[in-house]
Structure 1
Amino acid sequence: MDASSWDAALDAWRPPAPPESAPAREAALQTALTDDADATGSPSFDRARRALTDGAAVLDVGCGAGRASVALAADAPGAALVGVDPSAALLEAFAARARGASVPVRTVLGSWPEAAARTPSADVVVCHHVLYYAASLVPFARALTDRARRRVVVEIPWEHPHAWMRPLRAALGEPDRPDPPTAPGAARVLRGLGLRVRIQEWTDDADPWCGRAGALARHVGDRLGSTDTDRVRALLDEYGLPPRGRRMATLWWPPP
């Protein structure tokens, strides 16, 4: 798969506009703001931590409330942290979480890669669960690489996070889509740029929707362009979805 094919597959899997209803956006924001979990113990955390020394700098692109990076920076004595995100509310939560962990922090409001010019370089650049929402893979990844002195670490699902909804699309009469973009496909594209990308597959057993059936139905309905959340909820029960235990990928590479 080349870069244009990966981007075309990504475009085919984008949710209908608007991507989320107002209640779903608010629910997602509140979930992110109140989520106090972190990535400690994951392969992504491990790959990033190995490249950090005391006093290093960490850059988190699409930082949200800091799940990917605050515990990481706190684990390296003297490390400083920079977060980039298009949400001012999430940046506030990110900064508060970092200060609570006694980590020096700076925030940059904006989308990537547009915000790259206003963002300092760091020893390690992390980016979790953002790549499938980038406008284009190559400029996004190049900007990550340009800001890294030692390593870039990207975490994404093994295949597009909406791929599991295919049976629901068929049941709702939606036209099928081409094969979704995948983490191995992204790795091949990036290796074509001369980057020494490595990839590790692993399983995330956490269930972010546990006890939140209504929120899940709204989330899926938004992605499928359906306002009939009762029908969506019934289909989720019928098909036993979403799957438990997500296939994940950690990709990492040094700058050239």
Structure 2
Amino acid sequence: MLASSVEDPGAMPPGDGSVPPGKPMSLGQKVVDKGAQMMQTLKPIKQMSQHVCTFALYSHDMSRQIETHHYVTRLNQDFLQCAVYDSDDPTARLIGIEYIVSDTIFQTLEPEEQKLWHSHAYEVTAGLWVNPGVPEAIQRPELRNFAQTYGKFWCTWQVDRGDRLPLGPPALMMSPQVVNMGKVMPELVTKRDEKYKISSEELILSRADLADGTAPETVVVSNADYWMQSGKGFAIDVDFTDM
């Protein structure tokens, strides 16, 4: 066995203490980057149309919870892809990717594949899923759509444990839920709400009808949120294989 998503990375790589380790960007490099930015189309990035702030829990240790920032590209009405960052700052670190599918697509997946996915209904109705800066009235139609979707989120950089580089294999992430281990720590929500000057409690009241009775606390849908049925999470191991 080479590595596991549950293992600490050990000694950090040498550097000047910045995250990640490395020298400050030179003036020459900034000029090169700015020139490339002006001359290239960057078409995939320009298709990102939404910023969603929410929370995620590690499948192998749900006491580890992080605030996440998803920059969303919609490829069609049933499939979205997200670049996930640890903040919305200019220096934010890219910590993973999430794919989001509609219920229509999710129901076509094999049962074993469904176990890797999580539902979004509770995130939406609990006021955890927000589009910072966008008025709630404008968000509402999209929130109703998101409440009926499922996500598969791979975290590639475990910054919450102090990793200064993306180390080891990716970790599978789960969505917040209303039961025991799935509850988000109140201090995380309070910190996020204060930053964006919102009230999750008020959002809960205004979004009560959005899930249309399909919230995970009332209905178990297929094999999504599998930990709720089995009490088991997923850890990713790297192993040798014959070529």
Q: After TM superposition, is the score higher than 0.5?
A: no
Q: Counting helix residues as a fraction of each chain, which structure ranks higher?
A: 1
The structure with the larger Rg is: 2
Q: Which has the higher contact order (CA 8 A, sep 6+)?
A: 2
Q: Counting strand residues as a fraction of each chain, which structure ranks higher?
A: 2
